[in-house]
Amino acid sequence: MLITSALLAGGAVLLLLGPLRSLITPAPVPGLAARLGPDGRLLGHFPYPEAKPEDLVAMAPGLLLRPEAARALDAMRDAADADGISLTVLSAYRSVDLQKQLFFDVKAERNQTSADRARVSAPPGFSEHSTGFAVDLGDGRLPATNLRESFEGTEAYRWLDRHAARFHFVRSFPQGNRQGVIYEPWHWRFEGSTEALEMFEPAQRLAR
């Protein structure tokens, strides 16, 4: 009887500690009450490491990428140009600090909840841009479609849809993606290296 009582008491303590542990465990992003899901995602986004400055190269003023991604992007833009398509790079590497500003400042500015903002922009530490492998692309002839769903109707997007895979670039957030992020036809990530493939494998697995 004593052993049974002890086991029951121990079980009750564990049941109590479960919810308490979730309250004690700090949120992964300061200022954001949301907690990680079972697969490590935060508000739909997977965690990603921040690229080190020495691992990045400048493609243009203010635009940095991993060297292998930069080379592939240059080759893709040259091929597009040969077909009469103007691909512009709108955004590339973004530091965690910059992502923090984008997430929290715009969230407050637009009076959005964290969940609403996460559908549009990743929390800091959870953005593909911080890896140095992701880019936002636009049509140089139709700048009004930059970072808009209407980019889908441009010649640049149609060219990417047909040819980007040749250069190891894939859409991160297609329509109805299982991460719950809004459709972003402009956002592409590079998967042409072992490091990139390993980094984005959880997102690939979820999309299957």
Nearby residues of 161 by Cβ (< 8 Å), 6 or more positions away: none
d(CA 120, CA 136): 13
What pLDDT, on a 0 to 100 scale, did the predictor assign at position 76? 98
pTM over 0.95: no
d(CA 103, CA 164): 28
Per-residue pLDDT of the chain (208 residues; tens, 9 = 90+): 544 444 344 444 434 334 444 444 567 898 888 899 999 999 999 999 999 999 999 998 999 999 999 999 999 999 999 999 999 999 999 999 999 999 888 777 788 888 888 898 999 999 999 999 999 999 999 999 999 999 999 999 999 999 999 999 999 999 999 999 999 999 999 999 999 999 999 999 999 9
What pLDDT, on a 0 to 100 scale, did the predictor assign at position 188? 98
CATH of 42-207, one of 1.10.760.10, 3.40.640.10, 3.30.1380.10, 3.30.2310.20: 3.30.1380.10
What pLDDT, on a 0 to 100 scale, did the predictor assign at position 27? 75
3-state SS, residue 28 = coil
For the record, the structure tokens of 57 come out as 């190269």
What pLDDT, on a 0 to 100 scale, did the predictor assign at position 117? 87
Task: Indicate the domain borders of the chain.
Answer: 42-207
What pLDDT, on a 0 to 100 scale, did the predictor assign at position 25? 56
The closest of 203, 85, 43 to 133, measured between CA atoms, is 203
What pLDDT, on a 0 to 100 scale, did the predictor assign at position 191? 98
Residue 134 · residue 72 · CB < 8 Å: no
CB count in 10 Å sphere of residue 176: 7
What pLDDT, on a 0 to 100 scale, did the predictor assign at position 26? 65
One-letter amino acid of 57: V
Go through the chain and tell me how many residues it has. 208
How many Cα atoms occupy the beta-carbon half-sphere of 205 within 13 Å?
8
